[in-house]
Each structure stands twice: as C-alpha cells, then as structure tokens.
Structure 1
Amino acid sequence: METVQAPWQTAAILIGRLIFAGTFLMAVAFKFMDMGATAGYIASVGFPLPLFLAWCAAILETLLVIAFLTGAFFTPAALIAAAYVLFLAFAFHGPSHWTGNQAEFGSFINHFTFLAGLLFAAVHGPGSVLASKLGRV
C-alpha cells in the first residue's frame, strides 16, 4: 500500500534520483571517452585485468543510471551502488592514499555522504511518480 506524497516530497525524490543518475552518468561518460585512462587508473592501484574491470565498471554504471531514471529494480540498484561506492572509497581514496595528499581524505569522506543517500534511497524506494513497478518487492 502506497501513501500519498506531498508535491515537494515527489519533487525531492525525483531530484534525488536525477542526482544519482547524473553522478553515475558522468562517471560512465568519462570511462567511454577514454577507457584506456580508466584502465590505467585501475592498474595504478594494483588491480589485475584493468581494461576488463574498466568495462565492468562502465556496464555497472550504465545499468545504475537506467535503474535510477526508471525506478526499475530501484532498491537492489541502490544497494549495489552503495556497495560499489564503498568499494571505490577504500580502493581509490582510502587510508593508503592519504599520505601527503589531504585531498584524498576529502574524496574518501565524500563517498560516505553519497553512500548515506544511497542507503536512504534503498529503504524508501523510487517514489510513486515516474517509477517502474519492475523489481519492486
């Protein structure tokens, strides 16, 4: 049973979904513009098969954009995105990167604010407007 939302709540949910989608869309756009650079960045932190992982990241981010825009499989997508963001925080901006670069600590912390939003979204869902019923529990 869905509750009726005030117009500002509907707008806030839709804006939040657009922000999530836009963030992942920018990330995937940079990957597609230079997949080699993304692979190089992945290799620089020591992961094997960097080009394969870059393509996996691009595919995942594309699917997340679709889920956030449509609302389809929204809760699982938000949880997967949360795990992905947490992984990125530690793998690319974690404590081993802080020595001599305070900006990395800032990047690390910023991932947690994004993580909090994704977890909140996973609990509350995509809202009732412009949201596919596909994948809803």
Structure 2
Amino acid sequence: MGRTAAILTARLIFAGVFAMAATFKFAGMANTAAYIAAAGFPVPLLLAWLAAIFEVALVLAFLSGAFFSEAALLAAAYVIFLALSFHGPSHWQANQAEFGFFVDHFTFFAGLLYAAVHGPGERLTLRQGTLWKGSEASTN
C-alpha cells in the first residue's frame, strides 16, 4: 500500500508541475514568448505554444500512466534543455539565484529518470507504453 501511495503521489507531483507550467504559459503566452525570445530562440510564439501543448501531453501521460516511461524520458530531456537554456552558467553572474534554479532542474531530472525506469506502478495505469512491461510481462 505504501509503494502504491508513493508512486501515485509522485505521478501527481509530476503532473502538477507540468500542469502549472502549462497554465502559466496559456495565461500569459505573450510573456512566455518574450522570455523565449530573450533567450535567443527564433519563432518564440510558436515555441511557447508548442511547449504548452507538450506540457499538457505530459500531464495526461503522468495522470493516466499511458506511455508513462516515454513521457518521463521526454520530460527529463525537456527539463535539462530548460535548465541549460534558461538557467545555465551565462545567467549566474547576473543573478546567483539562477544557479539554484539550474540545480533544481537536475533533481527533477533525476526523479524523471527514476520514474522512466520503474514505470507508472500497478494502480490507475493504462497499459499502453512500450518501455514499461509491468507485472503482467513477468508472469507471462
């Protein structure tokens, strides 16, 4: 019971973080685009929309368990990209808090990698991912 509760709590946390990020993007798409442009990326409004949609897809995967391991791996890559692009070493001299944001992304990255390897758990999970085999695979 404790294992199931821990896994479901982790899934809710992952979903919650990406849901908040998507909500902030949808609520202030122009601000998000400006932030992306300030980092030097082209077509910032398109990238802002793609990021928000991607985050919604991650939320759905974490909540449902469908394609969970794949979503966790993609989320891990996304989180490292964000850390390097928006909180990397070039930002530290101007604002030392950026180093803390940078390091925080790596702890989230580690959790996502762990989740990708161990799968969505036994409860409240759609069995549609290709990486995670679950207990059914070990009994067949």
Question: Does the TM-score normalized on the shorter chain lie above 0.5?
Answer: yes
Q: TM-score range by the shorter chain?
A: over 0.9
In structure 2, which of residues 113, 126, 131 is the aligned counterpart of residue 132 of structure 1? 126
Partner of 2:50: 56
Q: 1:118 aligns with which of 112, 115, 121?
A: 112
Aligned to 1:75, which of 51, 69, 92? 69
Q: TM-score with structure 2 length normalisation?
A: 0.92
Query: C-alpha offsets along residues 43-100 of structure 1, whole Å, 9 cap, x if unaligned?
Result: 0110000000000101100000000000000000000000000000000000000013
SS at 1:59 equivalent: helix
Asked if the contact 1:72–1:136 (Cα under 8 Å) also holds between the matched residues in 2, the reply is: no
Identity of aligned residues (%): 66
Q: 4+ runs of 1 displaced by more than 4 Å?
A: none
Amino acid in structure 1 at the alignment position of 2:127: K
- After superposition, the CA RMSD in angstroms is 0.6
3-state SS, counterpart of residue 121 of structure 2: coil
- Could you tell me which runs of 5 or more consecutive residues in structure 1 were left unpaired when the two chains were aligned: 1-6
| Counterpart selection for 1:20 from 10, 14, 19 | 14
